[in-house]
Amino acid sequence: MSYAPDTPTETAPQGGDLVRRHRLSTRLWHWANALALFIMLMSGMMIFNAHPRLYWGEYGANPDTPWLTIGSMEGIAFPGWATIPSTYSLADARIWHLAFAWVLILGVPLYLLWSLVNGHLRRDLLLTGDELRPSHIWHDIKQHARLRFPTGAAALKYNVLQKSAYLGVLLVLLPLVILTGLAMSPGFDAAVPVSAWFGGRASARSIHFLCAFGFAAFIVIHLVMVVLAGPFNEVRSMMTGWYRLPKGKP
């Protein structure tokens, strides 16, 4: 989200003012990554079905002791309605997964660079000293727990919980999921031994799975918050850039 105080507004008789909330670059980034993440999560679950166990270290195979097992080796960890493709096919799942991985591999560095150039990271996501105070964080947690969301101009800026979540995704989850994905590529790992950074290819696969779980948790919480905050207004702002303030809020 990018908000500039001098952004022009439109007055609508049926509600409050319409104000610019999201730049075009932010909206394109949001929807491209939403599509890519959903397809990668679903195809990734099909890939996981081929060997539903996770290990630490360099190797991981049937005789080794896993730290996590979902389902059984003879069964399926995730049902067909949640995977791409819906019927078992490791080859097809890898094709889908790797094709949309390019959206992240190319998009994340470009978006970070553009966000640095246009000031988006500094202006909208950087946590201030006041926001890092425990009392401020606890206040935001209590407000969210009571479903008391910001109104007026405050609704156009990220709060401390949103900033923390988005920075975690942008600076932690996305880089980790890309690097661990490259570590699992035999060709790339042979040229650049990325797997050694994580203690082995099996460890990289485990971290990759944990990142995917983090993405899934973020998506669920994000969608719940959108519904509670007003889905029509929230989705419209991410599609058109315009957000309607509550009536009477300047």
How does residue 4 score in pLDDT terms, banded at 50, 70 and 90?
very low
Residue 242: enclosing H or E segment and its boundaries?
A: strand 242-244
The confidence score (pLDDT) of residue 36 equals 93
The confidence score (pLDDT) of residue 242 equals 87
Least confident of 21-25, 83-87, 190-194: 21-25
Read off the pLDDT of residues 92-137 as tens digits, 9 standing for 90 and up.
999 999 999 998 888 888 888 888 888 878 888 888 888 889 998 9
The confidence score (pLDDT) of residue 76 equals 78
What six digits make up the tokens of 46?
A: 């099909």
* Highest mean predicted confidence (pLDDT) among 35-39, 123-127, 146-150: 35-39
The confidence score (pLDDT) of residue 228 equals 85
pTM value surpassing 0.75? yes
The mean per-residue pLDDT over the stretch 155-169 comes to 86
What six digits make up the tokens of 177?
A: 């999921």
Eight-class DSSP state of 200: S
